[in-house]
Amino acid sequence: MITEPARLGTTTLPDGRALGWAEWGPPGGRPVVLCPGAGTSRSLGFGAGVLADLGIRLVSVDRPGLGASDPAPGRTLDDWAADVRHLARARGLGAPAVVGYSQGVPFALACAARGVAAAAAVVCGDELADPRLADRLDAEVRGLVELAAADPARAEAVFAEFGDAERLEEMIVAGSSEVDRAVYTEPGFARAFRRALAEGFRQGPAGYARDTLLSMRRWPFDPAQVTVPVDLWYGRLDASPVHSPDLGATLAARMPAARRHVVDTAGGALLWTHAVDVLRTVHVRLY
């Protein structure tokens, strides 16, 4: 079940930009920062019903150009880690855990690689531009990865052309397995998902396009640099062509403190169908 955030706000960064955030759970709980999926705003959290029991303060953050966060043209994954570092200082988060879902995965791991996070959870995502995955990628996705490497400006423009809330929802649902479509079309979830997408695109497609470019290119860090504990979560029934083509096997092998979990009955909506499991592993890592 998706619930409304308990707290909403923005934090002003050193360069004057606003960074939007939403919170669930006890204000004094151990902080966990959520890097949401493609095009979705801060309003779509997960696991709200168990946060109090686990003592977790979930903080979902809008990336620049999405939702309530001001744009930052030309930004990088390292810029995002710096933004979260400033947010953590301003909001008293210390060294939080980070959870990255789908397109949010490289943003979460950038925080872990750059010393911002104490632990991380990866849900469904991967470094699609890793050459070891090239032969496993869907042909269309492989073409986009190649374009992002060869002509980043053109790729970003292409991503902006098909970036709007309704079209992205259609793409996600159409590319999902039956088990995931049941989640995405459940009336309560569908309302919350559409709202988060509408909020994510309210400034236009530029924020989404930049995120997509960054997720399709090689990361500016080697996953071997991620030395904090990382749990990787995948659903065996995930049919999304932009999620991990090998269910995280290659990515997990690249990180020294990684544990990989593959749920046989889950798909790409695992963040919500198995929220308790994801949060419990984060809780264990924090303590």
Q: What is the pLDDT of residue 268?
A: 97
Average pLDDT (213-231) is 96
Rounded to the nearest 5°, which phi and psi values hold at 219? -75, 150
**pLDDT, position 287:** 67
The per-residue pLDDT for range 176-212, each reduced to its tens digit, is 999 999 999 999 999 999 999 999 999 999 999 999 9
Q: Residues of the chain with pLDDT > 90: what percent?
A: 97
pLDDT digits (tens, 9 = 90+) for 149-166: 999 999 999 999 987 999
127: Cβ–Cβ under 8 A, 6 or more apart, which residues?
Answer: 106, 133, 218, 219, 223, 251
| pLDDT surpasses 80 at 90 | yes
| Domain limits, the chain | 7-286
- In degrees rounded to 5, what are phi and psi of residue 204? 105, -175
Q: pLDDT grade, residue 283 (50/70/90)? A: confident
Residue 16: count of CB within 10 angstroms of its CB: 7
- Output the CA–CA distances (angstroms, integers) from residue 111 to 38, 85, 91, 169, 257, in the order listed: 18, 8, 16, 27, 15
Superfamily of domain 7-286: Alpha/Beta hydrolase fold, catalytic domain (3.40.50.1820)
Strand partners, 101: 123
The single-letter code of the amino acid at 252 is: A
pTM comes to 0.97
pLDDT of residue 162: 82
Within the chain, how many helices (H) and strands (E) appear? 12, 8
DSSP-assigned letters across all residues of 16-56 = S-EEEEEEES-TTSEEEEEE--TT--TT----HHHHHHHTE
> Above 80 in pLDDT, residue 1?
no
CA 105 to chain CA mean position, Å: 5
The pLDDT of residue 286 is 74
Task: Kindly indicate the confidence band of residue 285, based on its pLDDT and cuts at 50, 70 and 90.
Answer: confident
